[in-house]
């Protein structure tokens, strides 16, 4: 039992670690270029012990880890917890990989529209962390949005994640701008172009057709190629905001809580405002630390 603990957000491309107090106050923070995608099979435990702990002078602290470190590519494959899942159930599903070292399970759900299962690993800690940061959020219904490579939209009711759905928006943006005919070499960020993309997203349908306008507007002479990337970003985020909440089978319940990297969250807030949806932005790093601390406190009980 310890007043301090090691909090790790160990994702595909990066590892972010803190020494924090049990109430979630960060004392030390350090990033490591140890993303799960770069780990050799079976070496996660060793690199945690020989690199992460010594670098933080935290050889003895208990540790709570979330993210893709709980996947087949990470330390070990931690079984998903099934939705609906309360914070208490997530707590009870912590997976011990060593004395005082726990991995947070990801969540699995069946999509409300019948299109199959959906999964997350890491975002659950941010979403519950957001809720655990304020007792008022542990009652009532909320729509949470976590932008990113694989954006997540989740329905939170009385501190229980009832269901969620993923949109591959961030990954589509990355591969389209790098590998497709939409690639341009002179991109500059432009808010007007982003807004034109939001407008072109329409109801979010026919995406494969709408995407092509990021090229046809350029070769057709109605947009400079420098704007194509911001336009593409607006189009993809606009289509997600227009079409994804309906897959949860709910109306939007009050302001949406957007949780994640602040600059990206602001783009989502702008897309929601464009559609008349009220939203508030919350920092994802604060949320993940709050979630890891709440889970750590549970291990002390």
Q: Which residues bind its own copies (CB under 8 A)?
A: 71, 80, 108, 111, 113, 115-119, 149-150, 165-169, 171-172, 175-176, 178-181, 200, 202-213, 216-217, 219-222, 236, 239-240, 243-244, 246-247
Whichever of 133 and 244 has its CB closer to its own copies, that residue is 244
**Token representation of residue 264:** 């990206």
104 DSSP 8-state letter: -
Q: Give the nearest distance from C-beta 285 to its own copies in angstroms.
A: 23
Whichever of 129 and 170 has its CB closer to its own copies, that residue is 170
| Separation between Cα atoms, residue 234 and residue 194, nearest integer Å | 4
| Separation between Cα atoms, residue 102 and residue 62, nearest integer Å | 8
Whichever of 189 and 212 has its CB closer to its own copies, that residue is 212
Whichever of 62 and 147 has its CB closer to its own copies, that residue is 147
Q: Give the nearest distance from C-beta 278 to its own copies in angstroms.
A: 22
Q: Give the nearest distance from C-beta 192 to its own copies in angstroms.
A: 15
49 DSSP 8-state letter: I
Q: Give the nearest distance from C-beta 264 to its own copies in angstroms.
A: 15
Q: Give the nearest distance from C-beta 136 to its own copies in angstroms.
A: 30
CA neighbor of 270 nearest in space, from 184, 196, 165, 164: 196
**Token representation of residue 211:** 């995407």
Whichever of 17 and 239 has its CB closer to its own copies, that residue is 239
Q: Give the nearest distance from C-beta 242 to its own copies in angstroms.
A: 9
**Token representation of residue 99:** 């004395």
Residues linked to residue 201 through DSSP beta bridges, in sequence order: none
| List of residues 6+ apart from 73 with CB closer than 8 A | 12, 36, 37, 39
Whichever of 150 and 160 has its CB closer to its own copies, that residue is 150
Give the rounded distance of the alpha carbon of 112 from its chain centre: 20
Measured CA to CA in angstroms, residue 263 lies from 19, 74, 89, 236, 242 at distances of 26, 28, 32, 16, 20
């Amino acid at each position: 039992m310890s007043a301090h603990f090691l909090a790790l957000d160990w994702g595909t491309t990066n590892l972010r670690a803190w020494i924090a107090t049990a109430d979630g106050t960060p004392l030390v923070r350090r990033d490591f270029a140890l993303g799960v995608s770069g780990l050799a099979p079976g070496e996660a435990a060793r690199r945690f012990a020989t690199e992460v702990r010594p670098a933080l002078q935290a050889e003895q602290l208990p540790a709570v880890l979330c993210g893709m470190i709980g996947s087949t590519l990470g330390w070990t494959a931690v079984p998903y917890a099934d939705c609906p899942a309360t914070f208490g159930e997530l707590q009870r599903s912590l997976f011990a990989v060593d004395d005082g070292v726990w991995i947070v399970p990801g969540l699995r759900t069946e999509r409300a529209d019948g299109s199959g299962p959906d999964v997350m690993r890491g975002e659950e800690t941010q979403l519950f962390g957001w809720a655990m940061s304020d007792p008022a959020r542990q009652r009532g219904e909320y729509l949470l949005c976590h932008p990113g490579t694989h954006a997540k939209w989740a329905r939170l009711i009385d501190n229980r994640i009832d269901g969620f759905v993923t949109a591959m928006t961030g990954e589509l943006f990355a591969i389209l701008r790098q590998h497709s005919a939409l690639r341009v070499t002179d991109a500059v960020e432009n808010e007007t172009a982003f807004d034109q993309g939001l407008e072109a997203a329409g109801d979010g349908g026919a995406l494969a057709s709408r995407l092509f306008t990021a090229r046809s507007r350029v070769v057709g002479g109605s947009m400079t190629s420098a704007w194509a990337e911001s336009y593409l970003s607006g189009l993809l985020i606009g289509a997600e905001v227009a079409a994804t909440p309906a897959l949860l089978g709910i109306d939007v319940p009050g302001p949406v809580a957007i949780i994640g990297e602040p600059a990206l969250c602001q783009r989502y807030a702008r897309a929601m405002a464009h559609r008349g949806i009220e939203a508030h932005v919350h920092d994802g790093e604060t949320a993940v630390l709050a979630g890891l601390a709440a889970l750590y406190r549970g291990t002390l009980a």
